[in-house]
Amino acid sequence: MTANANWPEVLAALGPGQTPADRPDLVACVFQLKKQELLDLITNKGILGHTVAHVYTIEFQKRGLPHMHLLIWFKEEHKLKTPEDVDSLISAEFPEDTNSRFFGLVKDLMTHGPCGSEKPNAPCMDKEKKRCTKHFPKEFQEVTVMNEDGYPKYRRRNTGRQYKVRGHMMDNSNVVPPVPTCY
């Protein structure tokens, strides 16, 4: 989970002429409240299934925004074990409905790039190897494949559709999965 300085709760609480950068305390406070709500939804209300334990750490990005890394252990019957289980919760594709709020969120917040030949000086680029250290763009994949190392290769189909993001055309190979693997 990553803080968003443009959350409506942050913008509504700013004083006249203020920007979120002027109020890191406000951004951190809203992040804390949203973090608590997310943990309650996952651990107490079981929106992803019954959990047995969780641990998290909070880090601050270079831009100063907090983010949380969360590790969740599920009861055996709620673990994601098959590609279908993973696909029911995680997507590495643009939503089909381009007018939906979710499409806008994926487009604005869950795409990687540009990098590579389009932007060789991007922060993610390995200067010596001249490639993205996050391995984007990802290869297209018709179905999710479960790897033995615990990291699935998510379904990201080549639909032929591209969308303009940050001035560059992007497709499913640039989508960052919005929910991490939870098993």
Q: Are residues 71 and 102 in the same domain?
A: no
31/5 Cα distance (integer angstroms): 9
Which percentage of the chain shows pLDDT scores above 90?
74
pLDDT exceeds cutoff 80 at 183: no
108/110 Cα distance (integer angstroms): 6
* pLDDT for position 179: 55
Work out the average pLDDT over 115-138.
Answer: 91
Q: Are residues 105 and 121 in the same domain?
A: yes
Which of 62, 78, 94 represents a domain boundary (last residue)? 78
Q: Are residues 131 and 115 in the same domain?
A: yes
Flag whether 14 is in a domain.
Answer: yes
Please give the tally of structural domains in the chain: 2
Q: Are residues 95 and 162 in the same domain?
A: yes
